[in-house]
Amino acid sequence: MTTEELVACMVLRGLTVADMDQFTIGMLLNYAYAHNRIQRIANGESVPDTDARYKQLKSIAPIIEEKYKAGQISKEKYDEYRKSIERYGGE
């Protein structure tokens, strides 16, 4: 994403350039994500709760770890599980 695209993205979501001066890029991306999520909920869409999903995945992490170490889960499945945690803001 170019700077111009980022600015356009934020302006479409109601921020001014002066507002953007106060934020880091990470804060702007979080704002855009939250704004989109709120808009989707307002439009009646079913939006998954990423925080709840992350907590759920983390809660079963010890079980997955045990099964992997015991050879009950393949390396591919274990790696897939780890990536799913990372997608939800994990380690």
Mind listing the pLDDT tens digit of every residue in the chain (91 residues)? 898 999 999 999 999 999 999 999 999 998 998 899 899 999 999 887 778 888 888 898 899 999 999 999 999 999 998 888 887 764 4
**CB half-sphere exposure, 85, CA atoms < 13 A:** 17
Q: Could you give the number of structural domains in the chain?
A: 2
Which pLDDT value is given to residue 91?
44
34 plus 16 within the same structural domain:
yes
82 and 66 both lie in a single domain:
yes
Structure tokens at 91: 């380690």
Residue 48: predicted pLDDT: 78
Check whether residue 35 and residue 10 sit in a common domain.
Answer: yes
Range of the domain at 8: 3-42
Question: Residue 7: which residues within 8 A CB-CB, separation 6 or more?
Answer: 17, 20
Q: What is the pLDDT of residue 16?
A: 94
Q: Are residues 83 and 59 in the same domain?
A: yes
Q: Are residues 80 and 57 in the same domain?
A: yes
pTM for the structure as a whole = 0.55
Which value, in Å, is the radius of gyration of the alpha carbons in the chain?
Answer: 18
